[in-house]
Amino acid sequence: MVTVNRIDENTLHIPQQGRMVTDAWIFARESILIEDEALGQLCDAASIDPDAFVCATPDIHRGYGVPIGCVWATPQFISPAAVGYDINCGMRLLTTPLEADEVNVRPLADSIRRDIPLGEGKHNVGLSSKEMLEFLARGVPAVGMLCAGNRRFAAAFREDELAADLERIEDGGAMAADPSCAPPQAVGRGRDQFGTLGGGNHFIELQRVDQVFDDRLAEAWGLHRGQFVVMIHSGSRGLGHEVGG
């Protein structure tokens, strides 16, 4: 049995116990149920490096090695097992200039379901292997390459909007790397999965900004009450799975 102490409304503390060499923290309200297996995996993650900071976000649930939602930060090394199979899996909030009351959600949801395949092993917009290597070298700035393979994508693509997005992405969406190091199997699996969502707990959700708790921060992020926004949870699909596996 893992000893867990609630510090406040949103924070749980797991002190060192058993094989743990550092404490662990969970950010979750009382209404969030946490699996025993996930707690055990979080304790395992806190048993590796005494210099590590180990915590879990509210979506914590059983994963592979460490729980999903685990943050494991250490100055010593990078752990592929902690990163997981789906490299760069995460969530993004896409802001829009629209008010939620202006949006007819049903046809928009239907078009998303039609154009963006959901589930494991799905395919959509593709590149050749050579183009894929170029894409890996250039990163997000190369998104325009996808226009040649999909008419809907080409119709929606805006170069000026991409430029604005790049200013808000770490490292401008491109990191110095050698794409020739990518395994051929990874390139092959990922090159035709652009525009797919993935399976598991991945989602696209149409949302309304209902409450604002920090007006200054909301303004800096371009958010306001009643605004229509889109949240997406996805990852690197077969490319990342092949590298991470």
* Whole-number percent of the chain with pLDDT over 90: 73
β pairing state of 68-73 and 203-208: unpaired
Three-state DSSP class for residue 238: helix
Q: Are residues 170 and 78 in the same domain?
A: no
Q: Are residues 143 and 212 in the same domain?
A: yes
Q: Are residues 162 and 234 in the same domain?
A: yes
Three-state DSSP class for residue 56: strand
Query: Which span out of 13-27, 65-79, 180-194 was modeled with the highest average pLDDT?
Result: 13-27
Which pLDDT score, from 0 to 100, does residue 121 have? 85
Which pLDDT score, from 0 to 100, does residue 241 have? 86
- Return mean pLDDT, the chain: 92
Asked if the model's pLDDT at residue 196 lies above 80, the reply is: yes
Q: Are residues 141 and 196 in the same domain?
A: yes
pLDDT (mean) for 109-130: 91
Could you list the residue range(s) of the whole structural domain that residue 33 is in? 5-83
Q: Name the DSSP letter for residue 68.
A: E
Which pLDDT score, from 0 to 100, does residue 240 have? 87
Which pLDDT score, from 0 to 100, does residue 19 have? 96
Which pLDDT score, from 0 to 100, does residue 98 have? 98
Distance CA 78, CA 245 (A): 15
Q: Are residues 128 and 149 in the same domain?
A: yes
Q: Which two tokens stand for residue 67?
A: 């729980």
Which pLDDT score, from 0 to 100, does residue 85 have? 77
Asked if the model's pLDDT at residue 38 lies above 80, the reply is: yes
Three-state DSSP class for residue 109: helix
Distance CA 62, CA 27 (A): 16
Q: Are residues 190 and 225 in the same domain?
A: yes
Which pLDDT score, from 0 to 100, does residue 243 have? 81
Q: Are residues 46 and 137 in the same domain?
A: no
Q: Are residues 121 and 52 in the same domain?
A: no
Asked if the model's pLDDT at residue 65 lies above 90, the reply is: no
Q: Model confidence over 66-98: pLDDT tens digits?
A: 998 999 999 988 887 777 778 888 889 999 999
Total structural domains within the chain: 2
Q: Are residues 117 and 197 in the same domain?
A: yes
Q: In what order do the strands lie in the sheet with 11-14?
A: 5-8, 11-14, 24-27, 53-61, 68-73
The last residue of a domain, from among 53, 83, 113: 83
Q: In what order do the strands lie in the sheet with 203-208?
A: 90-99, 227-234, 203-208
pLDDT (mean) for 38-50: 95
Q: Are residues 157 and 124 in the same domain?
A: yes
Q: For the purposes of burial, counting CB atoms within 10 Å of the CB of 13, is it exposed (0-12), middle (13-18) or buried (19 or more)?
A: middle
Which pLDDT score, from 0 to 100, does residue 63 have? 86
The last residue of a domain, from among 66, 83, 100: 83
Q: Tell me what percent of the chain is helix, strand and coil, each rounded to the nearest 5.
A: 35, 20, 40
List, in order, residues 6 or more apart from 228 with CB less than 8 Å away: 96, 98, 99, 100, 102, 103, 206, 207, 208
The last residue of a domain, from among 22, 55, 83: 83
β pairing state of 24-27 and 53-61: parallel
Q: How many residues does the chain have?
A: 245
pLDDT (mean) for 203-208: 97
Type of residue found at 110: D
Q: Are residues 25 and 97 in the same domain?
A: no
